[in-house]
Structure 1
Amino acid sequence: MTFMTSRRTDALSRERIVEATIQILDTAGESGLTLRAVTAHLATGRGAIYHHVTNKDELLAAAADGVIGQVVAAAAGGDDPRGSIRALALGIFEAIDARPWVGVQLSREPFQPAVLQIWKAVGVSLSALGVGGTALADAGSALVNYVLGAAGQHAAGARRAPDGAARKEFLDGVAAEWARQDSDPLVQESAALLREHDDRAQFLAGVDIFLAGIFSSEAIAAVRRDASD
């Protein structure tokens, strides 16, 4: 009897509900996520679900928080704060690429727990690199906004062209349209580069540009000088 009670408690824990929600989102998408679908997946009643979450919005926020929590944990613990930031950014990029619903959810509410996890992880690494005060807030916000925005845009494009052949056809079409609309040499060069560019490499290049800019900033240099005095 004790064993059966333990199994039921585990099955109805918040963690099990989040796992079920993620599985439903991965297989059926956001349109397939309902409280009824979660209760059916867990073979339980609605009352057990309502003990932890009360609506679909809370399910989505909890699921995104669960996915991002895994990304943050995987990127943490290294001796190189810059490397930790790059690993975190790439982990978020890959999580949103694999699960576009995560990107959609993160864009809905800037103060949800998943975004706080990202902000805290970035802030800890920047602080370890000597960035503090308002400079940390400014640099951290800019970097987090870039990571979420760029990863979300990539996921949106990936939904339109989910496989390699479709992606090449899609990019060829966009590049041709750009080249047709504007004869400016800059646009023509960008159109040519668009056909063969690597989203992942370009995303990481953007992270590196942000990091380089952060540490060349006069405001941050002043903060670091003050901290060393």
Structure 2
Amino acid sequence: MEAVLDAAVAVLDEAGGSALTFRALAARLGTGVGTIYWYVQNKDELLDRATDHAIGGVLAAVEQQPDSDDPIADLRAMAVALFDAIVDRPWLSAYFMRNTDVQGNSLRLYERLGRQTLRLDLTPRQRFHAVSAITSVVVGTAADLGAELPQELLDGEVDRDEHLGRFAEAWRSLDADEFPFVRQIADEFATHDDRDQFLAALDLTLAGLRLQSEN
């Protein structure tokens, strides 16, 4: 099973979910398609098990981190670890926590996040909402970063700065009364760093959680 999942993750890393077929996996393993069915019943199960296999590395890293005296800081470290893993493997965003009956590692990682909220003065509903919000910020932002790039960027016709600069220039020329905000942030948009943007969103979420737990 380990070899099958290693191969499945390799296919997903190279070409995404659409490329992961039993035929492609069997060819990579040098075996017949029928052999794959000894381990998984269908493609959905294969995707869930491959996702859980990859998340196992994140879980191992998180479990090695000792708790500090600040659960919010510990939540942040876990969230960043998950974010970095999904940025490296964008396909994870589509399948993470999709089926926790199969994804035991994903459920354990979710539990590790949730345990930090047990150290805060929150109700069960607040804890559920907190972990849901953090997970949404992590997975949603990482998924956006992993989205397919415009063809002109893929072809090398323009670089990222030029691509963003075109939009920023158009925003600067908008009517000041109708689009005051967009005009004001045009320069920030043109030079923004995606990871910094994620960290800002995460920190805003965690700051709200800290205030909630203290009130």
Structure 1: gaps of 5 or more residues:
1-13, 223-229
Residue in structure 1 matched with residue 35 of structure 2 by the alignment? 48
Residue in structure 1 matched with residue 23 of structure 2 by the alignment? 36
Is the contact made by 1:92 and 1:151 (CA closer than 8 Å) also made in structure 2? no
Residue in structure 2 matched with residue 7 of structure 1 by the alignment? none
Among 54, 59, 62, the alignment partner of 1:67 is 54
Residue in structure 2 matched with residue 172 of structure 1 by the alignment? 165
What is the TM-score normalised by the length of structure 2?
A: 0.81
Cα-to-partner distance string for 1:118-140 (whole Å, 9 max, x where unaligned): 42221022223454522211211
Aligned pair in 2 of structure 1 residues 17, 110: CA closer, same or farther (>3 Å)? closer
Residue in structure 2 matched with residue 194 of structure 1 by the alignment? 189
Is the contact made by 2:113 and 2:131 (CA closer than 8 Å) also made in structure 1? yes
Aligned pair in 2 of structure 1 residues 128, 48: CA closer, same or farther (>3 Å)? farther
* Distance in structure 1 (CA, Å) of the matches to 2:202 and 2:107: 19
Cα-to-partner distance string for 1:80-130 (whole Å, 9 max, x where unaligned): 2333322222222222222221223349x4757365344222102222345
Cα-to-partner distance string for 1:27-48 (whole Å, 9 max, x where unaligned): 2332321101111111223333
What is the TM-score normalised by the length of structure 1?
A: 0.77
Residue in structure 2 matched with residue 78 of structure 1 by the alignment? 66
Residue in structure 1 matched with residue 145 of structure 2 by the alignment? 154
Among 100, 107, 111, the alignment partner of 1:116 is 107
Residue type at the aligned position of 2:209:
I
Residue in structure 2 matched with residue 142 of structure 1 by the alignment? 133
Query: Hey, which of these two has a bigger chunk of helix by percent?
Result: 1
**Root mean square deviation of aligned Cα:** 2.6
Residue type at the aligned position of 1:90:
V
Count of residues paired in the alignment: 204
Instruction: Give identity over the alignment, percent.
Output: 36
Structure 2: gaps of 5 or more residues:
none
Aligned-pair CA distance for 1:189? 1.7
